[in-house]
Chains A and B, each alone.
Chain A
Amino acid sequence: MASDATDVGKWFGDAGSIDRTTGRLFKWGCLGATALALFLMLVFLLYVFNDAFAPLSADPGWLLTFTGTVLLPMLGLGAYYYRRDPAAGRVAYTALGLPIVMGLFAGGVWLLFRHVAPPRMWFGFVVALAIVVALVRAHERIRPNATDERTVLLVGGTILALVGVPGLFPSLRNLVLSAPALPTVTVMFLLTFALPIATLAGWYVRKGRESTRAGTIALAVVLVAAGLGLVIGPVAGVLPATWVIAVSPVVGALVMYVDRVLRQGEGTSGFAFPVVVVAGILAGTAIADLADFAGPETWLNRDFLTGVHSTTAVEAGIYPALVGSVLILIVIVVSAFPVGIAAAVYLEEYAPSGGKLGRFIELIEINIANLAGVPSVVYGVLGLAIFINLLNMGVGTAVVAGFTVGLLILPIVIISTQEAIRSVPDSRRNASYAMGATKWQTVRNVVLPESMAGIFTGTILALGRAIGETAPLLMIGVPAVVRVSPESFFSRTGAMPRQILTWSTQIETDFRYGVLAAGVVTLLVVLLTMNATAIVLRNRYQQSR
Chain B
Amino acid sequence: MSGNSGTASESITYGSVGRGIQERLIKLLLFSCAALTVLVTLSILVTLTYDTITFFGFEAVDVVSFLTETNWEPRSGQYGVWPLVSATLTVTVVSALVAIPIGTAAAVYLSEYASPQMRSVLKPALEILAGIPTVVYGYLALVYLTPWLRAAGLPLGTFNLLSASVMVGILIVPMVSSLSEDAMSAVPDSLRQAGYGMGATKFQVSTGIVIPAAVSGVFSSYILALSRAIGETMIVVMAAGLQTNLFDPLDPFGSLASSGRTMTAAMVNAVTSDATGASPEYYSMFAIGLTLFVITFTMNLLSNRIAARYREEYQ
For A350, the chain B residues whose CB sits under 8 A away are 27, 30-31
Which of A363, A438, A513 interacts with B143 by CB under 8 Å? A513
Q: Is A453 an interface residue (CB 8 A)?
A: no
Q: Beyond A2-B213, A439-B23, A474-B272, is A373–B296 a contact (Cβ under 8 Å)?
A: yes
* Residue among B203, B299, B300 making CB contact with A22, cutoff 8 Å: B203
Min Cβ gap B62→A in Å is 22
B35 touches A (CB below 8 Å): yes
- How many angstroms from the CA of A224 to the CA of B41 in the assembled complex? 52
A276 at the interface (CB under 8 A from B): no
Residue of B nearest to A452 (CB): B1
Assembly CA distance A370 to B228 (angstroms): 12
Determine which of B26, B170, B232, B296 lies in contact with A40 in the assembled complex, contact meaning CB atoms within 8 Å.
B170
Tell whether A464 pairs with B139 under 8 Å between CB atoms, given A5-B208, A350-B31.
Answer: no
Cross-chain pairs A/B with CB under 8 angstroms, 19 sampled: A5-B215, A12-B195, A20-B201, A30-B113, A40-B170, A343-B30, A361-B34, A374-B297, A382-B40, A382-B44, A414-B34, A435-B9, A440-B26, A477-B271, A500-B139, A520-B136, A523-B133, A535-B124, A539-B124
Partner of B105, one of A11, A34, A410, A469: A34
Chain A residues with Cβ under 8 A from B240's Cβ?
none
Selecting from B13-21, B63-71, B149-157, the interface stretch reads: B13-21
Q: Are B131 and A531 in contact (CB under 8 A)?
A: yes
Across the two chains, which residue of chain B brings its CB closest to A501? Answer: B135
Give min CB distance, A346 to chain B, whole Å: 4
Is B250 in the interface zone, CB < 8 Å from A?
no
Does B193 reach chain A (CB closer than 8 Å)?
no
Q: Mark A20-34, 1 if CB is under 8 A from B, else 0.
A: 101100110111111
Q: Given A26-B203, A371-B37, is A497 in contact with B133 using a C-beta cutoff of 8 Å?
A: yes
A364 close to B231 (CB less than 8 A) = no
Question: Measured between alpha carbons, how far is A465 from B299 in the docked complex, in Å?
Answer: 22
A355 in contact (CB, < 8 A): no
Contact with A along B260-292 (1 / 0, CB 8 A): 000010011001100000000000011001001
Whether A441 and B12, one on each chain, are in contact in the complex, defined by CB atoms closer than 8 angstroms, is: yes
| Residue B248 at the chain A interface, CB threshold 8 Å | no
Q: Are B143 and A516 in contact (CB under 8 A)?
A: yes
Among residues of A, the one whose C-beta sits closest to the C-beta of B31 is A346
User: Which residues on A sit within 8 Å (CB–CB) of B301?
Assistant: 366, 370
Q: Which residue of B lies closest to A381 (CB)?
A: B289
Task: Point out the residue from B30, B106, B231, B264 that lies within 8 Å of A345, measured CB to CB.
Answer: B30
Query: A369 at interface (Cβ–Cβ under 8 A)?
Result: yes
Residues of A within 8 A of B228 (CB): 373, 375
> Is A163 in the interface zone, CB < 8 Å from B?
no
A236 on interface, CB distance cutoff 8 Å: no
Tell me whether A377 and B289 are in contact in the complex, defined as CB-CB below 8 angstroms, given that A6-B209, A27-B109, A435-B12 are known contacts. Answer: yes
Task: Given the known inter-chain contacts A37-B170, A439-B23, please indicate yes or no for A375 contacting B296, CB distance below 8 A.
Answer: yes
Contact A37 B144 (CB under 8 A): no
Question: B: which residues have CB within 8 A of A?
Answer: 1-2, 4-5, 7-16, 18-19, 22-23, 26-27, 29-31, 33-38, 40-41, 43-44, 47-48, 51, 101-102, 105-106, 108-110, 113, 120, 122, 124-129, 131-136, 138-140, 142-145, 170, 173-174, 177, 187, 191, 195, 198-204, 206-209, 212-213, 215, 224, 227-228, 230-234, 237-238, 264, 267-268, 271-272, 285-286, 289, 292-293, 296-297, 299-301, 303-304, 310, 313
A329 at the interface (CB under 8 A from B): no
A411 in the interface (beta carbon within 8 A): yes
**Given A11-B198, A23-B201, A501-B234: A368 and B37 within 8 A (CB)?**
yes
- Whether A29 pairs with B105 at a CB distance below 8 angstroms is yes
Q: Quick check: B135 and A497 within 8 Å, CB to CB?
A: yes
Q: Secondary structure at chain B's binding surface: helix, strand, loop or mixed?
A: helix
In the complex, the answer to whether A31 meets B109 with C-beta atoms within 8 Å is yes
Bound complex: CA A133 to CA B53 (Å): 53
A189–B241 Cα distance when bound, in Å, is 50
B116: shortest Cβ distance to chain A, in Å?
12
Residues of A1-24 whose CB lies within 8 A of B? 1-2, 4-6, 11-13, 18, 20, 22-23
Contact of B293 among A366, A374, A411 (CB under 8 A): A374
Residues of B within 8 A of A22 (CB): 203
Q: With an 8 A cutoff between CB atoms, is A198 at the interface?
A: no
State in angstroms the CA–CA spacing of A41 and B285 once bound together. 33
Which residues does chain A contribute within 8 Å of B38, judged by CB atoms?
363-364, 367
Chain B neighbourhood of A148, CB < 8 A: 18, 22
Counting chain A CB atoms within 10 Å of each CB, the highest count among B129, B139, B224, B272 belongs to B139
- Cα A20 to Cα B213 in complex, Å, equals 23
Find chain B residues with CB under 8 A from A437 CB: 8-9, 12
Cβ–Cβ < 8 Å partners of A2 in chain B: 187, 191, 209, 212-213
A541 within 8 A of partner (CB): no
Shortest CB-to-CB span from B307 to chain A, Å, is 9
Is A331 positioned at the interface, with any CB of B under 8 Å from its CB?
Answer: no
Residues of chain B contacted by A372 (CB below 8 angstroms) = 300
Q: Are B232 and A375 in contact (CB under 8 A)?
A: yes
Q: Does A47 contact B (CB under 8 A)?
A: yes
Task: Give the distance in Å from the alpha carbon of A376 to the alpha carbon of B292 in the complex.
Answer: 11
Type the 1/0 row for A374-392, where 1 means its CB is closer than 8 Å to any CB of B.
1111110110111000100
Measured CB to CB, the closest approach of chain A to B43, in angstroms, equals 6
Task: Given A371-B41, A373-B224, check contact A13 B198 (CB 8 Å).
Answer: yes
In the bound complex, residues from chain A placing their C-beta under 8 Å from that of B8 are 437, 441, 444-445
